[in-house]
A and B are shown apart, each in its own frame.
Chain A
Amino acid sequence: MRGDRAIYGIFIIGIVITTILIFYPAYHAVELSFQSRKSLISAPEWVGFANYRLVLQMPEFWEALVRGLIFSSFSIVLQIALGLSLAILLDRKLPGIALVRGLSVLPYLLPTVVVVLTFRWMLDGSTGIFSHLAQAFGYSHIAWADDPTSAMITVVVISVWVWTPFVTLACLAGLQSIPEELYEAARIDGAGAWNRFLHVTLPQLRPVLLVVLLLRTIWMFNKFDIIWLMTRGGPQHATEHLPVLAYRLAFELYDVGKGAAVSTISFLILSGFIVVYFRFFPLDQKE
């Protein structure tokens, strides 16, 4: 009984801390979306749903939404495809594999700001090593992040480079928990490598992949730092997705209310996605 109370006490403290650190700021952000104010220190004016109406009428909002979907879709698909492939490669019992596994996690351990600034430096049109390599191979100049299409490709590539190890780690853990007997049975039944992957590996990894897909979707849709540090949403808004638009409205264009409205809509879109996702892919579903 005593122990129960202690556990409940710790649980309540956890809830209080979560409320202070997560729910209150979230509530405050939603509250801001119903106000008109130039900055966080300006006197607020209650405007109801006006910010939402105005934001939904902005072509910039819909363009940013589409860009966010493009950025997150390509990033997630590539991260999962590459991450799963790497996990399968790293699941071999080869000499030195532990070292290779350790090294493969490195991109995930580096701070994003270090990664992005290093990429910026490597892709610099004047001094970047990739620019020099391109010239060595006879290309006069490659516009890495200098035109709208290549800028989007660049931020997708960087996000894949940073986050693929997370997928690899999760899938590797999943692969190592698959009983060897299943593969043996499949071999006895005459299944080749492709069929073993399709009918043993993938179904067994399904719960891991579903969680990875969910987490990656939430994180990539909200991903701010890579794009902000690499392109600041440019060139000419080509990589400006909803988080960047929200930041620009709130902190650069003196419209905190509209910025908060964009954030709240973004939150609602993600919440809707999560509900639909769990409806179609319940995590407790057994094969």
Chain B
Amino acid sequence: MNNKSKFQVIGLKDSGVTRRNTLKGAGAFAGSMALGLAAPAVHAQTKVVRFLNGEPSADSVRALRVAAAQYEKITGVQVRIDSVPGGATFQKLQASIQAGQPYDIGTLSFVGDALLLAEEKKIVPLNDLIKKYDWGPRILFPMGGNNYWYPYDYNFCWINYRKDIYGKKGLKAPTNWAGYLQNLSAVTGTGEGQLKSGVVHPLGSDDATNYSAFGYLWANDVRIFDDKWNVVIDAPDMAPLVIEYLDFMADLVKFMPPSPRQSSWANLVGDFQGDIVSHTPGTGRLVDQMNLSMPAKAANVSSFLYPSKSGKKFAVNHGYDGWVVLNTPMAQEAIKFLTWFSDEHFINFLHSSPIHYQPTRLDIYKDPRWLAHPSLETFAEILEMQKQVLSDPNIIIRSIDTEGPEPDVRAGKLFRSFALPEMVQDRLFNGKSSAEALKTAADKIRKVIA
């Protein structure tokens, strides 16, 4: 027993695991840990700008990487692109900040997140860069007199429809709710020129519902808050408009595929591409995707704005994405890269999804480099509609997360509370009257933002 090591006694091979080796290993581990903790941030030494991209489609990532490679060749500064889905960027940014290795550039899809970062001085103003250009309406969201983000696209949500089916039935794009319901009635069924369902609308408690189900409400010119953050959605002048909307949704749901509370982003695209519905809310992403995979069918897609009951006003649900520069040692380098990128490669990036990435900068609309993309000619009707949204005073740009007098976390809380989707669910599925559903929602909104 004395001649054997303990490892042999317990049946293990004596493979060199000795006290000396263990101590050596532990010492090396502790040393490397200590060195790692004491070392300055690697990117401060090697001039690396870390960029968290929220547009993970292959074409968009490629556009950013090509720009990064060229920038490195010119300046020697490396721009490292990490890509995650848009909905995951804020959490990833928070995690990077908490871990002491914040990204230098981040992507955000919600202005409330930018506000939180600005309040904590985690992002830096981009005033000089923003001042270089003219911008479209309701997109810069200044905070405390500063512009903290570079909005790179509008993601307006409107209604896409099948113009080939409309053509067969001799229909025109509707301009009010009654006309819309008539069109849906004509194109829904099992006969010639009809599809099984009319329109898909997610009606669950999720982002897809928040984004796509309330354009009709905005078109009816409903406000949720007044200029002092008072909840006015149930005020005497607003309540009838909301009740009209809820009653309209009760009519609209008859033309939807089953299980609208289960519908998701995927249904907005899949049901339309799969000939289940003739209408679907969405952005230009649908057209871009179809143009790549089924161009013949894509050529039959056109779009109209969310109509109001009266037909006097129209709306799009607001959507946007932007880049922020984080308050890191590389912030100035990050701003230099963004400044160079926005002149040299921004249009290439927009071209990676040409209809979806509707420009926020007004100069782009006149830029021959941007206009040269063939999709912009193929879908000229949609492009005209996009431009009209930016200039026509009768078109309302509104969304839950941008409601209120200025960017504020209260609008974000409202968005995430799903008070408005639940209002629709109460009316459509839970047997409440429109007035009762509105009252419940208004009470919840007051509680959420209190």
Give the B-binding residues of A (Cβ under 8 A): 2-7, 9-10, 13, 38-43, 120, 123-127, 131, 141, 143-147, 232-237, 248, 251-254
Contacts and interface: CB of A to CB of B under 8 A. Distances in A.
Contacts of B413: 253-254
Interface stretch (B151-159, B255-263, B298-306, B391-399): B255-263
Contacts of A253: 413, 416-417, 448
Contacts of B425: 235-236
Interface of B: 5-7, 9-10, 17-19, 22-23, 26, 91, 94-95, 97-98, 116-117, 119-120, 122, 196-197, 200, 204-206, 257-264, 267, 270-271, 274, 276, 409, 412-413, 416-417, 422, 425, 429-430, 448
A131 B276 CA distance: 14
Contact of A43 (B17, B120, B261, B262): B120
Contacts of A234: 204-206, 261
B109 to A, nearest CB: 14
B5 A125 contact: no
A5 B425 CA distance: 65
Nearest to B418: A234
B262 A232 contact: no
Contacts of B200: 126
A225 B17 CA distance: 41
A2 B259 contact: no
A120 B264 CA distance: 10
A252 B205 CA distance: 13
Nearest to B23: A9
Contacts of B9: 3
B263 to A, nearest CB: 7
Contact of A127 (B117, B206, B271): B271
Given A3-B5, A254-B413, A41 B122 contact: yes
B274 A39 contact: no
B195 to A, nearest CB: 11
25 contacts: A2-B18, A2-B19, A3-B5, A3-B7, A5-B19, A6-B18, A6-B22, A9-B26, A39-B116, A42-B119, A42-B120, A120-B264, A126-B257, A126-B271, A131-B259, A141-B259, A144-B259, A146-B261, A235-B204, A235-B205, A236-B425, A237-B205, A253-B417, A253-B448, A254-B409
A41 B98 contact: yes
Nearest to B416: A252
Task: Identify which of B26, B259, B430 gathers the most chain A CB atoms within 10 Å of its CB.
Answer: B259
B197 A126 contact: yes
Contacts of A39: 94, 116
A228 B422 CA distance: 18
Nearest to A234: B205
B409 A2 contact: no
A93 B49 CA distance: 63
A41 B261 contact: no
The 5 closest A-B pairs by CB, nearest first: A3-B6, A125-B259, A125-B258, A252-B416, A126-B257
A252 B117 CA distance: 15
A248 B98 CA distance: 20
A49 B205 CA distance: 31
Given A6-B17, A6-B18, A253-B413, 15 more contacts: A3-B7, A6-B19, A9-B19, A38-B409, A41-B117, A125-B258, A125-B260, A126-B258, A145-B262, A147-B429, A233-B205, A236-B205, A236-B422, A253-B448, A254-B413
Contacts of B270: 126-127
A4 B9 CA distance: 12
A235 B203 CA distance: 9
A10 B29 CA distance: 13
Contacts of A235: 204-205, 261, 425, 429
A3 B95 CA distance: 41
Contacts of B7: 3
Contacts of A248: 416
A248 B448 CA distance: 13
A43 to B, nearest CB: 7
Contact of B5 (A2, A43, A124): A2
A124 B18 CA distance: 60
A143 B259 CA distance: 6
Contacts of A40: 94-95, 98
A124 B416 contact: no
A42 B416 CA distance: 19
A126 B267 contact: yes
A18 to B, nearest CB: 16
A41 B97 contact: yes
Nearest to B7: A3
Contacts of B23: 9
Nearest to A42: B120
A77 B267 CA distance: 34
A75 to B, nearest CB: 21
Contact of B258 (A2, A9, A131): A131
Given A42-B116, A253-B416, A146 B205 contact: no
A39 B95 CA distance: 11
A125 B120 contact: no
A141 B204 CA distance: 18
Task: Identify which of A38, A120, A145, A248 gathers the most chain B CB atoms within 10 Å of its CB.
Answer: A38
A127 B274 contact: yes
Contacts of A7: 6
Contacts of A120: 262, 264
Contacts of A141: 258-259
A13 B6 contact: no
Nearest to A12: B26
Contacts of A232: 204-206
A165 to B, nearest CB: 27
